[in-house]
Every structure is written in C-alpha cells, then in structure tokens.
Chain A
C-alpha cells in the first residue's frame, strides 16, 4: 500500500480540501473569459495562469465541468497521425500527458497500452504504412506489423473475422497509445486553475457576445454581463451555437458519436484495438469494463440520444473481432457531440474578430489533444498570435485552400 494512502486511514476527518470552488457571483470584468469548462477550457485557464501569470480569468460552463466531450469520450491518447502538422501536434500532447499526473499530483491513470489500427485490406495497410512512415520521420514510435504479430500481441483476436469479411492483413502498431481517466484530466486542470485564482462558474450559460468595431468587449450570461477583451470559445460540440454570436462562419457540422460499455470483466485486453473497416475501437478500462465505440452517427444532430442500431452494430463488430465476446453483456450506451471539420483537423487560434479565439473542430479527437491545445491556446491568447504548433489549424486555412488532411488517420481512428 502506498504511503500516500496512510493519511486517509489515520485521520478522523477526511483530510482533503476542495479541489475547486464555486464563486458566489461573477465579477464585472475579467482579462479573459473562457467559454466551456471541459478539459480544453480549464486547461487553457491553467496554462494562462501558470505560464503567463494571467489569473483574472473566468471559465464559464453551462453544465458542470468535464460534462461534455471530456467526460464522454473513450479516453484514447495517441499521436500516430498522417500529416506532419497533425503528428507533431499530437506528439506534443502525449509528451504533456505523460507528465500530467505528477504535475497535478492527481493520478490520471495514464496507461500506455499500445494502440493497434487494424488493416483489413491492402489499401488500408497502405494508409497505415503512410502513417507509420510519417510518424517514424518525426520520431514517433509507430510501425506496420503483420497479421502474425497482431495475433501474438492480441491472441484473442480472430484474424479471419469469423469469415464474414476481409481478414486482417496487418496493423499500424503504436506502442505509446494510451488511455486515461478523462474526468480526472478536467478536475486536475480545474484544481490547478482554481488554486491560481481562476474562477470556475458552473451552471452559467453564455447567451451572447458583445462586439464593437470587430473586437470583443464583453460577454452576456444568464447571470449577468461581464466586460472582457478576450474570449476563448472551447465548447467543441456546441461551437455552432457560439460562433453566430460573433458572426463567424465555420465549416463545422455536429454529429453524435456513440459508445458502449460492457459489464466489468477480469482483465484480458490490455491493448487498444481499432478497426476502420469494422468501424470499431475497443479497450478495457481499469475497472474491467470494455469501452467500445464506432464511427459517427450518419447525420447532423446536436443531441446525445442513443440508438439501437448503433449498439447492434458495435456488438456485431466486436464479436467479429473477438468471437468469445458473444456471452458478454453491454451495460450502457451513451453519446457525445463531435464538431466535424472537412479535413478532420481542428480549428484553432485567432479569428477575424479581435479578442475572439476559437478552439473547436474537435470531432472525435479532442481528448487526446487536451494538454497541447490548452497550452497552445493559452499562448495564443496571451500573445495574441497563433502558437507555432497550431498555425496550420487556423480557421483561415479553408479560404487559403490549405487544408490539413487527416481523414486517413482520424476517421474511426480514436
């Protein structure tokens, strides 16, 4: 038993203070207002305080912290992306993630499991090789392995997929691929930001943003008006509700992404397995549940309802891959919102409106980018200039026709 737990056993009172406070009311003015109390927004507040000493900051969250995409994703972290820009960015995120538990003094259960993207055809093996080559070039641990190696590392897998579809030809193997306790990432950032003096206002909704001469001058909320010159929108699936407030048009469309969780099982799967052909990704949580998801819902919807077809599909594909799972039961299903971009890369940084910064386009890849997007957005807000790592992701890339094509690595990639 680690000595850190002893204090709980020998203290009569629970020896832990609040992780974060609930300020009674909004101040009249903040240097920065961050819309969205997920990992990205709280993280940006944390790094604004830590790296730039900017602490007169309010994080405005309409629900509760970590309740959106942060708490609904399947918690996979990886950096085996296809483009230079993407892979560098996500690799920087991994490097921050690896040290985050220590920095927070909060165990995020950041667990490096190894991530397999299965290829069921020569064509998909080709894309995996492309990713592997780009990754290796950037020093990212990533390689294409053959079917026998897949079988050796994940012995429960049926390489023939039950004979129903194309057998597994190989996989992109990314040893640093990890899972983490997603909620705790939000709490860690919240605690750090709170300690530095940032105010976190939950159950507070932004109703409008006040603009004068193409510049932000304040934010209206259901609890009153706040003066501010800098607003960061970090609301992912709700971005399309915020951008009209400043008259900004974006390519974002919102689709639900669903997931399921099984009853708890003794550990048998210590890898993260993804199959684009089967529209499937699965890992086993520290609690023993299988956490699995599939591709996006096929039509635009800003709602977190569940569908039966989804669960039927994801179960069918799980059994294709792991025939022994027929007996295992699905316990619960849920959904999150994904703000999708045409090139499967995020939209980050400055915008044509002075003082309005955007952190969006997180589709299905937002959680894994949490630390780096928070850090680079903080830099961008503090210096009013896109951080070098996120320059390629600026909203203007569309009108400049300079897309960052990650479709091959991001769709059903997780």
Chain B
C-alpha cells in the first residue's frame, strides 16, 4: 500500500485487520474500514471505472457515495458503488459497463466520436428508414445501462422494522450532534441518523487539522453518549421523508420505517465540482474527497497537486495536502482578490505559489488518457472567463477542486421546505422552516463551525418547543459573515476538451448551450432534454452547476431560474429491502386440512384457497369434475362454502333496511323462510347476490358473494348510517363455516346427524332452521344453487372439521363425495344460475341478466331503483340467454368470452360454458342482442382459430326447469 499514510487519531481503518480482495481479476490488499476506492487508491490504482456514455476513465471524485463511474459488480450483486463498498475478504469485483476489461474497454472508442453525439443526438437520427430503427435501438440499448442483472440472483428476504421518536436528526455532523443533544437534554426521545459509518460529519475531514475542532467532536460525542434518550444509528441513510414524518431508514441489513414528531435536516452539503477541460480524469477530485482520503482512510491522494479554489477552504486543503506529504504545486484562485485571511499567508509561507484570478483551464492527460500529468492554468478576464493569453502549464498528478457547495436538501424538500439562493453564501438556503421541520448547519448556509453547532442547538430547542418540552427563548439562526464559501460560476468554457457538468450522464458544457439554443430554456425542459441529474446520483454533483449555466444563458438570476424538486430516494435502495418478506394475504377455510387430506387441487379464489376438484388416481381433471357433479345429481355431495359472506342484520329496522339495499321485498318475508337477494349499485349495475334468511322478526341472516363480502359489509355500514336506521350489522364471515350438502340423498345423510325434523312439511324448500348437526349448533338453509335437494349448513368455524367428518361418515354408504368449485360451477350453469362477475360485467343491469323478476319496482326506494327506472324505459342492448351447443362438430367448442358474430359484427359473447355436462350436452350462457334472444334462434360463435360454430338459443334452466328436484319430498 504505497500511498498509505501513518496512523492518526480518528482514522476509519483498522490496521490490525488486513483484507485481501480482488478487483478486475487482480488481488489487492487494504484494511478493514476501507472502501473499495480508498483501498485501490492506497495501492496506486487510479483507474476505477468507465463512464456511462463515452467510457472515459474515471477515478475517485467525491468519495462520498456519488462516484457513479466507479461502480462494480460481483457474481451476485451489481451497481455497487466503489466509494461506499466496504472491502472484505473474498470480495471479488469488476467494473460495470466495460466491454472486455476495464483497462482495455473497447467501447472507449466512443470517446472519439463524442462530437458526433451532441446533446439529444438520439432524437435526430436512427428513425429513418423506419425498418432500421429496431437494429439501432438494439445497439443503443446494449451500450446503455450499467450493471448486469444476475439472472440466478436471489437475495434472501430482508425483514423490515419500525421505530418511533420525537425528533429525528438527519446527519451526525456538528449541527446534527448539537441539535440532537439540545433536544435530548430537554427530554425528547431523539434518533440521530448518520449515513457514514462514524459520527462527526465535516469535523472529520474539513476541520481535521484543527486541534480545537477535534476536541469539540470528542466533547459532542461524550455528551451524546451520556444521554439515554438519544439513540444513534450510523451507517444508515434516510432514504426518504414522507407525509407526517414517516421516514425510510436504510442500513446494510434492512429498511426501518420511522415515525417522528419533528425532523432536523442537518445533512450538510455536497461539494460541487468545477467545470474545465478533462475535469473528469482520474486524479481530478473534490477537495472533500482528497480530505476524506487523507483523514478517514489515511491515503495520500497524489504526489504533486494543484488546488483550484474559489473559497477559503481551498487554502485549508492545500495545507492538508502539504501535511500529508503532497507537493502542492499551486493554489489557483478564481477570485480576483484571492483569499484575504491568514490561511493565505500560511500557504504562501509554505512556498506554495498562489495564482489569483486564474482558473484551471484544462487537466492534461497522460498518453494513455487514464491519469493527470499536468494542469493548464489561464488568467481570467473581467467577466470571470478564460483569457487566451498568459496560460501556464504546471506538472502535477492531481487537481483538487474547492469551489463551493450545494445543500443536501432532498429530505428538506420532501418535508415540504423550499430553498432560495442567497448571495451571501452563493448557495441555496431554506426559504423558511415549518413548525416541525428544521434545517441547520451548512445545509442552511451556516459554515462557521461554532455557528453550525449554535444553529443545531437552535433547531433542537425549537423541536423541543414544538413537542411542548421547552418554553424558553429560541435563539436566532447565526448569520454568515465573510466571503461566500461558494464561487458563483466555477465553470470554464473549453472548446476542445470535454468539460463535464454531469459525470453520471457524460454531459459537458456545450450540451447545455446547445440544448438552450434548441429552445430548451427552462430548468425542467433542459433537464429532460439533456438528462442532467437523471443518472444514479440524481444530480447531486451536477444539478446546481446546470442551474448556474442556464441562469447565465437566460441572463436571469438563480431564483428566477428555479430548481428541480428532489424526490426519494437519497441513495438508491434495493428491492429486497423495500419488499421485505413479501406478505400476501391468503385465507384458508376452516376445512383446509380436510381438503388437502382428500387430495384436493387447490386454487386461488380472490384471497381464498378453495378446492377446484378432488383428484382421483389416473382420472383427468375433466373426468374428476364431471364425476363429482354426477354424484351430486344422482347421490349426494358436500362442498365447503365457508368463503361466503355471512352477515347478520338485527334490529327493528332490519327488514326495511334490507329492502333499501336489495331489489326485493323482505318486510313480508315469514320467519323461517329464505329469499333470493339481488343488490345493485347506484347506477343500477348488479354488484351482489345472496340469500336472506329471516330468523326472527328483527333478525336476518344473509349470505353474500365470497369476493365481495368485505366491501359489501363496509358499504352496508354506511348505508345504515345514511338511512338513519336502527339496524345492527355483524359480519361473521370468518367466524362461521358453511357446508352445502346436496343431492337427492342429502336428507338421508343429515337425518342421522341432526336433532330436528327434516321432512318436507317441517323443513320445506326455501326454509331456514336452527338446530344441531353432529352436536354442533347449526343454522340450516334449504336451498338449491346446484339444482338438487340441498342444505346449506352454517356452523361455528371451530366445529367445521368435526361436522364435515361426520357428514362424510354418515354418507359413506350412500357414496357421499366432496365436490369442488368446478363441479359447482357446472351444476349451477345447468340450473341457469348466474355468477355475479362472470356472467355479469362492470355494466350489467338486472334487465339484461334476465333478473327483472327480482326487482320490486313498486317499492318507493332501493339503491339503484331510480337508475333502473331509467334503464327499464330504454331498449335493451343485450340479454343473457342459454345456448345449446352441438354435441359433435368438427369445429371446437367455444371458450368463455368467445364472441357471437352476426353480420360480421360483434353481437355478444359467451359468459359461461360447459363442454361436458350431466345432461350429456354441451351448454353455455351468453349475452346476445335482444333480436337474437328468442329460443330456437341460431347464433354463430367465433371459436378458437377463428372458426365459426352455430348454437341454438334455448330457455334456461337447462336442467329441471320445473324445479322438482329441489322440492323433492321425503
């Protein structure tokens, strides 16, 4: 590790743990605590990756998680940022987005064609002739993109957790620490979140040379440590801020969802690059990156450095470099008067040449273009632009940029704050704070170290006040004095080279000028046309320079130009963490285990799992279904109907309420009797059907469709409020199980198990009785959805298994068999019963579905009644009819939703079909036009392969039109 500096207090590396890792097939060594980029730099590796578009060589730039061009991948993971990725034993990574190897990436040739690819070039070519576009697109897509997805990748689920606090402080630098401590001292429950592995923020690198600052950090840390109500989470990013202080915290392990009362944004700033020729070469870096290398990772950044500055900080950096053994060739100051403070004297005293009112015009590249070998300086004219005379070339292997900052304002934006440009600091600062969202420190334009802590303390007290824990005076925010920490326009035009504004997207200065020339002259349009800020850093290092450039082009102020809104996430978050353990609600009926034991083929029905049919060895699915159905027709079967909605309507107004909900009448319904119930919405569209059982004068028990039950119950509760009725609703859907026992032998099975009279007089068709079945309290409804003698047995869920088993036992000799959803669908189709949602659609009203009989139009009101009155007066557009399909035809039978065709136009569709039935004939239900609806009429169905099949309209039900089967006497 030739560039490693001697041990120093506060370093992040653990020299006792040496770590060997592989990069681009070569083995390197670093220390635990190193990130990939720092470990490589320590070993003299400067080519860390290639850029997105031109495949230009890139090195360390920010060393703060924004170095997109040094992304790597391993066998499992991709798009890992080299400046965030901790090295560990067995780490074996290569650069993303290179063709061949990083060094020999043959796509680097695109760099030479850059002038043919101006901003938006892809809008201007490749589209003619049209047939060639797919070819071009394919090429372009292959070149675009960064990492490769590992098709076998499968991250284990990551748990999520929740956290709560009064006050969340985002950022563990001087302002954040001071704010957290101040609030915690007032008794607030405080959570301090720091994205880096250690607390300290800018104290760790910006103020590292300052002994007093180091003492201050120690003091802050020990005070924080002593506060039990202050929790600190390092290595955790606040990925996003959402309504009502709901924050997404992400660390290496998981997503934490935090609810807070107040938020302090003490996120500091992103250092901003200068724009000059070749400003992206490995060896050109932000001053904060150089300082991070020196103080956090103890790596000497360069041998010979030129410092480009526009602020006081650049002089401090020069001294830092000097102390780290770097030969500082020059400090190049963009400002006409240079630096006035004593720092300038120290720099001069150290023998470093200072070029006032100069800029770095170009970084000189080595022959292989992968490193810096010099800097060309130019004097500046009065407008701050480069002079063409008086240029100086200096030899160096590093150029450090210290020209200014922009606040890390994303979280503050998301929390509703807005920022404005302040010329005292030449950066954006918050326009104002809200009563629960605060900004402190450099993010608020406060740069003096003492002032930052004061500002943090102010915010902490304000939060305590907002939480009712502090009543004293809250100090004012300290005001910045002295020259601005940022330079207003650190951007040098450079005709020949590439002077990059956005390193994610390889956009250079001319791209902005050209986009502006084409009319993209406001910030949103220029962003979309150039794609500035659309890359993985989301413009953290480029948006603000883009705004500066656009302001100049428009001759407008920064505030007139405006800025773009920052959206989550702060740093990208993996889908594994976001998705967590992926819970999907899935409901089992109380009889689930019974079905599995009986070899049921389970299918999803909404959120429920239901038996589709019960498998029999060697029998096909269709055979199983038909034989289940035949067994119901000829003997007896049982089906689990526990998914039905099961609701109680109680109270003096229950009958009246039902009459307003459903299309039918219930006041006259006798106790102990059942009625069919049809429900419409306000448009008159069918939404619900079921059975209403009157258990007593003021008590009805109602079944509802499985999928609609929850929503229907919810709506009922509102109608009960609106109608101001004295009715109580109880949803017992999950509490009760239901089993339908159906078939001519049903009564026989039940007789041995129940304690009440089953004969036709005592328990007629469409009656309801309460009693016991197999010892369990049960409610029995004699109905025949499947068209046979049948009893729907409703029992407490806990007794379901027992009752089910007893029914099967009692019916064993009668060859009882369970039947599934498919057999039931077949049986009800034979009986001509429609299924809401299958035989009706989002616009079907009762008249179309031949359910006009269910509408008691004389009632003064029910939901949908007025609409149905309108619809009844209109000619029908379609009608639901039965179709008899040919038994043997060369043309295949239709599938559900095949169309009826008449005169070449669509005249309807099949809603339900059964190819094999207990009737021996294939049948269907279909919508047809009213002209086609009369029995005997032939209709043409377009079936698979576009073939046409003729079917005949027949009356429904297909089976037992006299309803004799359901009423079968004992």
Q: Enumerate chain A interface residues (CB-CB to B < 8 A).
A: 1-2, 4-6, 8-9, 14, 16-22, 63-67, 71, 84, 98-99, 101-102, 105-112, 120-123, 126-127, 129-130, 133-134, 136-137, 156, 162, 164-166, 181, 183-184, 187, 202-203, 262-268, 270, 284, 286-288, 305-308, 311-312, 315-320, 323-334, 342-343, 401, 403, 405, 407-408
Contact = CB atoms under 8 A, between A and B. Distances in A.
Contacts of A320: 582, 584
Which 7 residue pairs of A and B lie closest in terms of their CB atoms, listed nearest first?
A288-B145, A329-B572, A326-B155, A326-B576, A316-B579, A166-B604, A315-B578
B897 A133 contact: yes
Contact of A311 (B529, B578, B604, B867): B578
A165 B584 contact: yes
A277 B128 CA distance: 39
Contact of A330 (B118, B572, B582): B572
Interface of B: 52, 76-79, 97, 113, 115-118, 121-128, 130, 133-134, 136-137, 140-142, 144-155, 240, 242-243, 246, 248, 255, 257, 414, 510, 513-514, 517-522, 524-525, 528-529, 531, 534-536, 538, 567-569, 572-576, 578-580, 582, 584, 586, 603-605, 683, 837-838, 841-843, 867, 870-871, 874, 895-899, 901, 906, 909, 942, 946
B843 A403 contact: yes
A307 B574 contact: no
B536 A129 contact: no
B579 A407 contact: no
Given A14-B513, A165-B584, A408-B841, A263 B151 contact: no
B153 A326 contact: yes
Contacts of B575: 262, 315-316, 318-319, 325-330
Pick from A1, A105, A136, A263 the residue with the most CB of B within 10 Å: A263
Nearest to A344: B842
A8 B116 contact: yes
Nearest to A267: B141
A327 B576 contact: yes
A316 B127 contact: no
Given A107-B123, A165-B584, A267-B142, 4 more contacts: A126-B896, A286-B144, A318-B575, A319-B576
Contacts, number: 290
Nearest to B130: A102
Pick from B134, B246, B255, B567 the residue with the most CB of A within 10 Å: B567
A133 B909 contact: yes
Nearest to A132: B897
Pick from B150, B842, B899 the residue with the most CB of A within 10 Å: B842
A263 B572 contact: yes
Contacts of A342: 683
15 contacts: A101-B130, A107-B124, A129-B898, A136-B946, A265-B79, A286-B140, A286-B144, A306-B414, A308-B242, A308-B248, A311-B568, A319-B582, A325-B153, A327-B576, A333-B569
B573 A184 contact: no
Contact of B538 (A264, A284, A331): A331
A66 B842 contact: no
A205 B150 CA distance: 49
B416 to A, nearest CB: 9
A166 to B, nearest CB: 4
Contacts of B257: 308
Given A8-B121, A319-B579, A71 B528 contact: yes
B123 A9 contact: no
A164 B242 contact: no
Contact of B148 (A14, A84, A266): A266
B126 A107 contact: yes
Contacts of B534: 287
B883 to A, nearest CB: 16
A162 B521 CA distance: 48
B590 to A, nearest CB: 21
Given A133-B909, A324-B153, A4 B125 contact: yes
B626 to A, nearest CB: 17
Given A109-B137, A308-B257, A319-B582, A330 B573 contact: yes
B772 to A, nearest CB: 37
Nearest to B141: A267
B518 A18 contact: yes
Contacts of B906: 84, 134, 137
A266 B147 contact: yes
Contacts of A343: 842-843
B815 to A, nearest CB: 29
Nearest to A277: B604
A14 B510 contact: yes
Pick from A5, A184, A408 the residue with the most CB of B within 10 Å: A5
B147 A263 contact: yes
Contacts of B248: 308
A263 B536 contact: yes
Given A266-B147, A315-B579, A324 B152 contact: yes
Contacts of B154: 323-324, 326
Contact of A328 (B122, B574, B603): B574
Given A8-B115, A8-B118, A329 B79 contact: yes
Nearest to A165: B584
Contact of B125 (A5, A164, A318): A5
Contacts of B147: 263-266
Nearest to B416: A305
A5 B116 contact: yes
Given A1-B116, A331-B536, A286 B942 contact: no
Contacts of A331: 536, 538, 569, 572
B145 A264 contact: yes
Contacts of B536: 263-264, 331
A275 B748 CA distance: 48
Given A20-B519, A316-B578, A329-B575, A264 B841 contact: no
Contacts of A323: 153-154
Contacts of A327: 76-78, 149-150, 153, 155, 574-576
A137 B946 CA distance: 9
B151 A329 contact: no
Contacts of A134: 899, 906
Contacts of A408: 841-842
A326 B579 contact: yes
Given A14-B510, A308-B248, A4 B124 contact: yes
Given A111-B134, A133-B899, A343-B843, A263 B117 contact: no
Nearest to B79: A263
Given A327-B150, A329-B575, A2 B126 contact: yes
Given A65-B525, A407-B842, A265 B141 contact: no
Contact of B897 (A129, A183, A401): A129
Nearest to A403: B843
A21 B150 contact: no
A66 B527 CA distance: 12
Nearest to A107: B127
Contacts of A333: 240, 567-569
A5 B124 contact: yes
B148 A265 contact: yes
A66 B118 CA distance: 22
B124 A123 contact: no
A120 B582 CA distance: 17
Nearest to B118: A8
B604 A165 contact: yes
A311 B568 CA distance: 10
Contacts of B942: 133, 137
Contacts of A307: 242-243
Contacts of A4: 124-125
A130 B897 contact: yes
Contact of A263 (B146, B531, B576): B146
Nearest to A400: B874
Nearest to A324: B153
B567 A264 contact: no
Contacts of B76: 327
Pick from A102, A268, A284, A311 the residue with the most CB of B within 10 Å: A311
